[in-house]
Copies of this chain bind each other. A is one copy, B any other.
Amino acid sequence: MAKQKKTAITPTRDENYPEWYQQVVRAAELAENSDVRGCMVIKPWGYALWENIQRGLDKMFKDTGHVNAYFPIFIPKSYLEKEAEHVEGFAKECAVVTHHRLEQGEDGKLHPAGELEEPLIVRPTSETIIGATYAKWVESYRDLPILINQWANVVRWEMRTRLFLRTAEFLWQEGHTAHETEAEAWEETRKMLEVYKTFAEEFMAMPVLTGEKTAGERFPGAVSTLCIEAMMQDRKALQAGTSHFLGQNFAKASGIQYSNRDGGRDYAWTTSWGVSTRLIGGMIMTHGDDDGMIMPPRLAPSHVVILPIIRNEEDREAILAYCNEIAANLRKQRFHEREVEVVVDSRDINAGEKGWGWVKKGIPVRAEVGPRDMANNSVFMARRDTGEKQGIDKDAFVDGIVATLEDIQQGLLQRALAHRAENTREIDSYEEFVQFFTPENKERPEAHGGFAMSHWCDGSECEDKINDELSVTIRTVPFDRAEGGAGACICCGKPSSGRVVFAKSY
């Protein structure tokens, strides 16, 4: 057996994918668990990534006519109760504030005191509190539409948590809009799904399928939930964003009523849509490799690190000046409207350790500069995505950086698209379906399965049976489902209007 290539991350993806994931988050210094159950600390490198996600999305929201605002973190229990399915969906996992001070007890310790008349829920999502506000704002059709987004933290008391993918507290944005007509609200729901798809593919280099969730996977209280779904490298699906058509459900629950053009009174039509820090988990599992994170350049906190290699103290000043000059010239370039961001890492630590640190963090381009490179007017450049390394003239390096970054961005998307294509299969027999989703090693399942495009009768019994037997769910019902033609349900054989996407998921 050939000696295995040494990797920066142990275990590798093949050896243990879930553990690989945790180790990448740690090694890339993206986040860590805090002492507060289920809550994470987002470290500077991870938070800078989130800031870039925010910047990109925020511009797209504003370009589509939305403005930002901020609503209270607390939701009175009675508000949550206004929409029956909604409270049912969130009551089981919410943080409840019951007191408003701590008081010293007879044991000398502090105890909750000042009990609230009505408990407050730390928002798991804000439909109800925002709905109550819109009810005050809306009097006439002239007050519509309301197109507002909020950047905020939310809390859902998850029992099994995993950094970025499922945490008790997470950061997100939640758009909440109210419209005069059903058609307008539907248009908004679809438009924001399209914004998410564009963002996922163009910024994150993460291809996604779009479609509608089945009734069982809908947002509690929604009429319809649209979603973007991505395939991770272990072939599981990740729900990366959702856009909900809420019909008049929340408008009725909150009393968002307006005088219509005919002088009558109507309930508004509302939507909500959100993506969260979960996107970071999606990027790790889409692009990361056995050496750690790989950042898509459009979102990378920095694009290039320059590593001065100083073997003799007398070279230090000259090499640093050479590096700083290259950095200054790189920063004059623009990559998708952002300045090319460069770190000159002159920390006085072991050069190998330093270089590997940046590999694990996933910075798109590394450039090492030693005395010989300087003498040759060159740098030794390495691409994180392909591992490709080469000595290159320094001016060519600077002049070519935007093209290099674009090539990396496109390469990552193409690689992810190819991975998804390889692992997507039309399956028409239940036997093959079972085989597709059954790992050979049941103890420690290898990467298996993928997206099975199979027929479905629209019955929740078949959906439940497949979930019970194989832990496989319908990830999305494609909008163009019918175009592929009708068929027979993979489970019960009854008529199906078209294929849907089955997969295991996060």
Which A residues are closer than 8 A to B by beta carbons?
34-36, 39-44, 46-48, 50-51, 67-77, 79-81, 87, 91-103, 109-110, 112, 114, 119-122, 129, 132-133, 148, 152-153, 155, 157, 169, 171
Contacts and interface: CB of A to CB of B under 8 A. Distances in A.
Given A97-B97, A98-B99, A71 B122 contact: no
A34 B131 CA distance: 11
Given A39-B73, A41-B71, A68-B48, A102 B98 contact: no
A120 to B, nearest CB: 7
Give the top 3 A-B pairs by smallest Cβ distance, nearest first: A39-B72, A44-B67, A42-B70
This chain: how many copies in the complex?
2
Given A69-B41, A70-B41, A96-B100, A76 B35 contact: yes
Contacts of A171: 70
Given A92-B101, A102-B96, A40 B77 contact: no
Given A69-B47, A87-B110, A169-B72, A41 B101 contact: no
A93 B100 contact: yes
A301 to B, nearest CB: 9
B155 A73 contact: yes
A101 B93 contact: yes
A88 B379 CA distance: 58
5 contacts: A46-B69, A81-B109, A96-B101, A97-B122, A122-B122
Contacts of A48: 67-68
Nearest to A104: B91
A32 to B, nearest CB: 8
Contacts of A153: 73, 152-153
A420 to B, nearest CB: 31
Contact of A77 (B50, B75, B102, B120): B102
Contacts of A99: 95-96, 98, 119
B102 A112 contact: no
A96 B111 CA distance: 10
A188 B314 CA distance: 33
A90 to B, nearest CB: 8
Contact of A34 (B42, B129, B148): B129
Given A42-B69, A73-B155, 18 more contacts: A41-B70, A41-B72, A44-B148, A46-B69, A47-B69, A74-B95, A92-B101, A92-B102, A93-B101, A95-B100, A95-B120, A96-B99, A96-B100, A96-B102, A97-B122, A102-B121, A122-B122, A152-B153
A132 B32 CA distance: 13
Nearest to A74: B36
A119 B68 CA distance: 33
A85 to B, nearest CB: 14
Given A95-B120, A101-B157, A102-B94, A72 B34 contact: yes
A157 B100 contact: yes
Contacts of A77: 102, 110
A157 B103 CA distance: 14
A118 B133 CA distance: 34
Contact of A101 (B47, B67, B94, B133): B94
A148 B171 CA distance: 18
A169 B153 CA distance: 13
B42 A169 contact: no
A72 B129 contact: no
A243 to B, nearest CB: 21
A74 B99 CA distance: 14
B44 A69 contact: yes
A354 to B, nearest CB: 13
Nearest to A44: B67
A129 B120 CA distance: 23
Nearest to A93: B101
A46 to B, nearest CB: 8
